[in-house]
Structure 1
């Protein structure tokens, strides 16, 4: 195998430059020195080895040569556990970085929402955050061109409240029946086991509402420069209610206080080859060094009349709510100031569910939100078992749980001890509370998705000339390998978004066809 001297030189220069820069700043590398730091804070071995059942392990048991293996409990305990150490990988969002911190209220919104976590200015609520590329597997790269998950768990006194959002202000589809199709189209071809551009572009051109989000994915915002510089969005328009029972509707925006930064394709490709865990490492090192990342939290607020009179479906997750019509209102900020002590226990087992709602927040009335309430819960059952909410990182730490759920695969904790295990009962088991001014989620009717207008607005008014050029380049890089019929369909829809965009992509494809035989490669 031959290597290009120029490319090797460029990589060497980049590596050398990174090392020199770090040395010049004299910055510590907490992630690289974690195990060293553990030794330094320990006066010696933390204790004597035991089996998982607690039996002490004698030094002769650490060797198996010329001995009966089945009688060596250290060997048996270690080996049989090793082959069971992996749980099912998340179907999407498998690779991630995460941390813990707090949310603080900075502005009063009690006039629209009675959730206790928003009850007064200055109130702090502990929270967890998990950031993740959508498509790549667990061993993939942090700098792939992809959307990112932006998931937050708030440990409130009314139970956990989860916002399972994205780094894009809109989502891909309006009809949740498309979720399996969307995922499979981006995953590996079942025959070749390779990522297949034909599959992706077949989906995008069959469901052109997805192009609104993918203008961002293929644009300058498609590769965030680490998680600390990545914005987040709740995607859904949440229904909330106040103490009087009045309904309002809000969309969440999370704006990084360090500023929004993104990587260009060439830079991301270089980083990918050197440090595929770039974003995860950056987040860990920043927190460990005391440079705690923070985000300002803002919301768009709509009244029931706003919803009724809106010119768009404000619950359509493939659309954004225009900020000139529904301006941003400050709500608070969240700070991440604690790294996980054990990644598997605290981040891999961190289980999100849009159904984790609290009094005063009814959720989204759209079908995607309804489907996610089922899908996320079912995914956690599959990955972590029926008692996943008993895993410490998922426990509602500010309230006592009185559930009638019992038994099942561990962890069961105290399994609700001797409390009656059925409801209703007359033996003093837990009973439901009665909410004053109870609010029901509104029922809505939704048309088929159609958002070329907003995609056009994004292309013309939110992208500079240079950004539009890079968007075209990135689209061509992906679309250029697809068969011509898919290319022609894509050009048709890009033209519907804007004639300039369609024309530039069409011209770029024609140049590619002249220089390369794409069909032959396929």
Structure 2
């Protein structure tokens, strides 16, 4: 038996076919309140897209602890091998807008929400272990170069390479972006990284610095520019298609959570800044330690409700996991949650997809737009704290985080010496990439630089020269080859039809 159609207030509706009019040919009447409700709701169906990571795909699943890391963290989720919790992940492009093609060359976001018994823990990262800049002071400027030029309303390679040439710390991430890794075939065939340096502390109050790695259990697969261009010509939604269809067909993607661990005191003597988001921690010095397995085995019933409304923020942490002096992390602790308040509303974390599933929630936030849930303080008279009422929510001193042991004078510090930004991309270029990979890197970068002015190209060549002379020479040669090819094409006479 079918259900009865109603208004949003629950009143039954006699028809969903025709408007109410004054006679068969008369005007529509204002008292057709259901017509007005339908039109007004349609006008409000869209919410602001994310300023960054607008285009995304997601899935639900389960995290299972497979290894004991209680020596590093007292978080309840890691308290025993075999423990599980629900998870929700969203993967995304960084620069592309909501309607962008899935297979554009771009960094991919990789975020996971763990619904633990002590509250939600979010890891907000990318499919690269580093980022373009290490200081959030430059983040808004960087993102503007990835978006549209205010006059042309077009994406601007000139702006991108102009900014990157002025911020040499970008060269590590740009090298990865322009390499074979720049276009994954879909979310199921790429690694994920927390990227930032976080901290963990154990039951003794001992702190360690950590990096989070999500190691893909499927084959790592990427596309060339040519393959991606052909694919985009036939579909702009291949990531969503591949992910949804795989899960519907029972082919569940998996990632293994690993951590890199550094003793707290070692940060002071480490040969590089471990809190610099443009640097990786060498695996030889800080090997991967397995923690648990993530399996994504459910497609959401409603994409908008579960994925578009999903709000990830590094401010969502649990006892046993903490922050670090990472400048970008410190800024994102504020900016992510604030973006969600703008995009979704004051009470965005009360939406079902963002609310804790395995932990009770008690707080003193009050009123505001869309306050659709009851008071959660534990007592009807307790709308402030401290108060006298038995049973009302109280702080728990036992979950207090141990103090950070790094301190210094407040100032605007320059974090690196002149050559430090080139060491790791130099190693990536000379030791990790083989010659065929280097050749493709040169070609990919030359193609991206093609619209740039000569002055911007020369400034970028100077950055690449500091990484390695062969790097600059290879990109320069590829650019010049492309310019010759374009010149020959332009000079070819066009045959006029008879």
Scaled by the length of structure 1, the TM-score of the pair is: 0.88
- Distance in 1 separating the partners of 2:304 and 2:179: 33
Q: Does 1:509 align with 2:465?
A: no
- Distance in 2 separating the partners of 1:62 and 1:444: 69
**Larger CA deviation: 380-389 vs 60-69:** 60-69
1:69–1:76: 8 Å Cα contact kept in structure 2? no
Q: Does 1:381 align with 2:337?
A: no
Q: Equivalent of 2:428, from 458, 462, 476?
A: 458
Q: Does 1:489 align with 2:472?
A: no
Matches within 5 A, 1:231-242: 231-242=191-202
- Distance in 1 separating the partners of 2:195 and 2:381: 40
2:121–2:316: 8 Å Cα contact kept in structure 1? yes
Q: Does 1:448 align with 2:411?
A: no
1:252–1:300: 8 Å Cα contact kept in structure 2? yes
1:105–1:331: 8 Å Cα contact kept in structure 2? yes
TM-superposed deviation, 1:73: 2.5
1:366-424 residue CA offsets vs partner (Å, 9 max, x unmatched): 11111001100110010011100100000011111111001111143113372511112
TM-superposed deviation, 1:430: 1.3
Matches within 5 A, 1:73-84: 73-84=33-44
- Distance in 2 separating the partners of 1:244 and 1:131: 36
Please give the root-mean-square deviation of Cα atoms over the aligned residues, in Å. 1.8
1:255–1:297: 8 Å Cα contact kept in structure 2? yes
TM-superposed deviation, 1:455: 0.4
- Distance in 2 separating the partners of 1:235 and 1:414: 37
- Distance in 2 separating the partners of 1:444 and 1:307: 12
Aligned residue for 1:425?
A: 387
- Distance in 2 separating the partners of 1:379 and 1:499: 42
- Distance in 2 separating the partners of 1:71 and 1:60: 15
TM-superposed deviation, 1:69: 3.5
- Distance in 2 separating the partners of 1:436 and 1:216: 39
1:365–1:444: 8 Å Cα contact kept in structure 2? no
- Distance in 1 separating the partners of 2:254 and 2:29: 52
Q: Does 1:313 align with 2:269?
A: no
- Distance in 2 separating the partners of 1:477 and 1:452: 23
Ranges in structure 1 where 5+ consecutive residues have no aligned partner: 1-43
- How many equivalent pairs are there? 475
Change beyond 3 A, Cα 1:436–1:391: closer
TM-superposed deviation, 1:495: 0.9
Aligned residue for 1:470?
A: 440
- Distance in 2 separating the partners of 1:232 and 1:60: 47
User: Secondary structure in 1 aligned to 2:292?
Assistant: strand
Aligned residue for 1:118?
A: 78
1:243–1:437: 8 Å Cα contact kept in structure 2? no
2:197–2:210: 8 Å Cα contact kept in structure 1? yes
Aligned residue for 2:230?
A: 270
Q: Does 1:370 align with 2:330?
A: yes
Aligned residue for 1:50?
A: 6
TM-superposed deviation, 1:212: 0.2
- Distance in 2 separating the partners of 1:470 and 1:488: 20
1:100-137 residue CA offsets vs partner (Å, 9 max, x unmatched): 11111111000111001111100001111000000111
Change beyond 3 A, Cα 1:172–1:419: farther
User: Secondary structure in 2 aligned to 1:91?
Assistant: coil
TM-superposed deviation, 1:436: 6.4
1:388–1:411: 8 Å Cα contact kept in structure 2? no
TM-superposed deviation, 1:306: 2.8
Q: Equivalent of 1:400, from 360, 373, 383?
A: 360
TM-superposed deviation, 1:448: 2.8
Aligned residue for 1:198?
A: 158
Matches within 5 A, 1:54-203: 54-59=10-15, 62-64=18-20, 66=24, 68-203=28-163
- Distance in 1 separating the partners of 2:16 and 2:252: 47
Aligned residue for 1:213?
A: 173
1:219–1:474: 8 Å Cα contact kept in structure 2? yes
Change beyond 3 A, Cα 1:477–1:123: same
Change beyond 3 A, Cα 1:152–1:71: same
**Larger CA deviation: 327-336 vs 298-307:** 298-307
Q: Equivalent of 1:246, from 200, 206, 218?
A: 206
Ranges in structure 2 where 5+ consecutive residues have no aligned partner: 491-498
**Larger CA deviation: 90-99 vs 255-264:** 255-264
User: Secondary structure in 1 aligned to 2:215?
Assistant: strand
Change beyond 3 A, Cα 1:438–1:364: closer
Aligned residue for 1:31?
A: none
